[in-house]
Amino acid sequence: MKKKLTFISIVILALLLAGCNLPSNLVSEEPTDDSMATEIAKILTGTPVEVLITSTPDNGEDQPESEEPTDEVVTEEPTEEVVENTATPTVTPTIAPTATMADTDPAATLGTPDWVDNLDNGNNWLTDNDAYTKIKFDGYMKLTAITDLDGWRLSWPAPDNFYLEGKFQTPACSGTDHYGLMFRTPKNSGASQGYLFGITCDGKYSLRLWDDPNMSVLIGWTASDKILKGADVVNTLGVMAKGDTLTFYVNGSKVHEIKDDTFKEGIFGVFVGGDSGEDFTMWLDQIRYWDVP
């Protein structure tokens, strides 16, 4: 199934951003007003691309299911954006299970995180709706794909070597609906570069490399029994980035490792893409990272 991926265009007035405060639950130091305004007030835009949801043989821990995906075809960038202020879906999960973490979970051995956001508010994120996604904060970040194109939000920290972890919930989730972490997006790239590690609701993971105008598949969609499938589940996704070595975790279990040095640092965030024909909402419960040597 072909899937279009787009990147969100967001503009924040520097004057407003200069007055933003970081939430008290952050462990690391707050950025200065000037640096905060500089990092977040940029125009972060994305170009829609064709993405093939399939499985590709690779040397990771899990084995693929089908043929290698074809190259993505870059489509024309939208000529305008429409900011929509409609509310996100009010559905709540019927259950909130906690995944059993493996002994290999880096979070169990790294100590206190260097940065934590429990998503009680949107102080670390751009909060306007746009033409591709709606966003709301209500004890979670609730990010909804409102078209057949992917969308995302990026935050301001730019760690070098790190372990990044996000705890996701999916009140409704089926098939190739997908979501995950975006990382090492260069600060000056306008969100047109970076890595995207994500999973589908039917239990596959992948890694893609975005370098405008090209999207490369570094790890094709690969089945893993570490992923909790379907609706009303919680999946914790993790990325260990040390130099050119990128290691990926699902619910504390290592699922894949590759080497790629295209991008060595940058900001991070989350993305969402719906394929089920209805607005697909991903809930982010917590995101945090540890600096690693």
8 A C-beta contact, residue 110 and residue 247: no
Residue with the two structure tokens 């870059």: 74
258: CATH: 2.60.120.560
Question: pTM of the prediction?
Answer: 0.69
Of 271, 267, 199, 207, which Cα lies nearest the Cα of 236? 199
| Residue 81 within any structural domain of the chain | no
Q: Is residue 126 part of a domain?
A: yes
Note whether residue 36 is domain-resident: yes
| pLDDT of 251 | 98
- 43 in a structural domain: yes
Is 216 part of a structural domain of the chain? yes
Whether residue 260 lies inside any domain: the answer is: yes
Q: What is each CA distance from 215 to 50, 67, 248, in whole angstroms?
A: 9, 18, 19
Number of domains making up the chain: 1
Q: Residue 32 corresponds to which amino acid?
A: T
Task: Measure the CA–CA gap between 151 and 133, rounded to whole angstroms.
Answer: 6
pLDDT of residue 100: 55
Tally of CA atoms within 13 A in the half-sphere of 44 that contains its CB? 30
Which residues span the domain enclosing 37?
A: 2-76+86-291
Residue 133, Cβ neighbours under 10 Å: how many?
29
Phi, psi of 151 (to 5 degrees): -145, 165
Q: Kindly state whether residue 262 falls inside one of the protein's structural domains.
A: yes
Low-confidence ranges of the chain (pLDDT < 70): 1-102
